[in-house]
Each structure stands twice: as C-alpha cells, then as structure tokens.
Amino acid sequence: MRAEEKAETEAKARAEAEKTGVETRGEAEKQAKVEARSKARAEERARLEAEARLRAEREAKSRDEEKINVSRVAIPAIEEATIAEYQQGEKAEAKSKTEIIGISGKRGTCECCGKKGVPKDKLLKIDSGQLFCPNCLHALRSSGVS
C-alpha cells in the first residue's frame, strides 16, 4: 500500500502545485491588468494636461496679438488727435494774442508809444484792439502781460 499512498501523495502534491501555479498566474495576470489600466490612465492624464497647456499658450498668444493689434490702431489715432488738439490750441492762442493788420505799403501810428510812420504790416492788433509796433509788442510780452 505504500506505493499507492506514495502515488496518491504525489498526485495531491502535483494538483496542489498546479492549483498554486494557476492561482499565482491568475494573480499575476490581474496585477498586469491593473498596471496596464494605471499606465493608460497616467498616459491619458498626461495627454490632457499637454492639451490644456497648449490651449492656454494659444489663448495667451491670441490675447497678446489682440493687444498688439489694438495698439497698432490706437496709438496712431491718439497721436493724430493729440497733434490736432495741439495745433488747434496754438492757432487759438496766436489769434487771441495778436492779429496782423493787412499788408500794404501804407504807414500807421503805434497806439502805445505814438511812433509814426510804422509800416502797417508791422503793426499788430492786441486783444484790446490797439495797434502796437514791434518794439512795444516786445516790451509788452517781456513784461509778462498777455
């Protein structure tokens, strides 16, 4: 009987080893599947993050280009408006301070110093309406009175 017992023990040992091998193989396969799913998730996460970074970079570039385009239009317009405003102010200031009397060969009298024979094209009318010769006008401007 010993041989039968021995054969039976060997068969049980083989069955047990086979069962353990199958279980171990099954667990290894499960572990491999879990790892494959984890790797796939990690790759998907990395892909989504790369897409988000790319999208953010494109949006930032678009905003920068929009600002540049606005500047290209706005700056010249502001410059033109500023120049026009400045020129208007200069014209208004010059007109309010003096008005040149018509150019001709005629002569007139300075209403400030009384000098006679001043060419009419050299006489200037100030805000009050008086005609001033260049010397009186210079003295008036030098005194700080406008």
For residues 19 and 108, the model is more confident at 108
Cβ within 8 Å of residue 97, ≥6 positions away = 126, 127, 146
**Distance between CA atoms of 122 and 102, rounded to whole angstroms?**
9
Residue-range definition of the domain harbouring residue 22: 1-97
Summarize pLDDT for 21-34 with one digit per residue, the tens.
Answer: 667 777 878 888 88
Is residue 90 located within the same domain as residue 114?
Answer: no
How crowded is residue 90: how many other Cβ atoms within 10 Å of its Cβ?
Answer: 10
Residue 133 pLDDT > 80? yes
Summarize pLDDT for 7-17 with one digit per residue, the tens.
Answer: 788 877 777 77
Residue 94 pLDDT > 80? no
Is residue 38 located within the same domain as residue 5?
Answer: yes
Please, is 24 exposed, middle or buried when counting C-beta atoms within 10 Å of its C-beta (0-12, 13-18, 19+)? exposed
Is residue 92 located within the same domain as residue 112?
Answer: no
Is residue 84 located within the same domain as residue 108?
Answer: no
Report the predicted TM-score, pTM, of the whole model to 2 decimal places.
0.35
**Distance between CA atoms of 9 and 5, rounded to whole angstroms?**
6
Is residue 27 located within the same domain as residue 93?
Answer: yes
Distance linking the first and last C-alpha atoms of the chain:
141
Is residue 85 located within the same domain as residue 67?
Answer: yes
Q: Give residue 102's pLDDT band: very low, low, confident or very high (50, 70, 90).
A: very low
